[in-house]
Amino acid sequence: MIASSILDFAWIDAVDHQPNQPVMIIYEGVSMYLSEADNRALLEQLERRFGFAHVVFDVLNRKVANRTRRHDTVSKTSAQFQWGIDRSRELETWNPNFVLKEEQFYLQHFLDYPQRLPTTWRVISQLLPALPMALFKNSGRIVRLQLGPEPI
């Protein structure tokens, strides 16, 4: 772990990296607090530094990102969500070397383990199993983005 602002790109040079070896960068609970420009700059810097890497991070959709005041914990702070995307494939439009490899929806994991849901949503998901997915499927998700072409 490297203790630094994610936007102070000097931390990238502190990553112990061997040429032609895979790199995986994971950041959680960060992207939504950065602007779109800052998210782009971060991913561009990672691709520039490593050439090839996998980056795993979580994203919100625009609707959720625009409703910071409704978030159960963030609403108790002065923090503001800055960014969200509705389709993870949008990331691929930022750079021809960005490839979406995987996305996992938080909601699907909750539906797979209904005991984790609040009682109201547990009942709704049992009575109308398609409703939560139709309404909230992409509200929060984890993406794995490949930066740069795979080494030969």
> How many structural domains comprise the chain?
1
43: CATH: 3.40.50.150
Please, what are the averages of pLDDT over each run of 10 residues along the chain (152 residues)?
Answer: 89 87 92 97 96 96 83 74 95 98 84 77 72 69 95 80
Q: What is the pTM of this model?
A: 0.84
Look at residue 15 and tell me if it is in a domain.
no
Residues 27, 42: Cα–Cα separation, whole Å: 11
Look at residue 9 and tell me if it is in a domain.
no
What are the strands of the beta sheet with 53-60, ordered from one edge? 24-27, 53-60, 140-147, 98-105
25: its two tokens: 């960068």
Determine phi and psi for 102, rounding to 5 degrees: -165, 150
Look at residue 152 and tell me if it is in a domain.
no
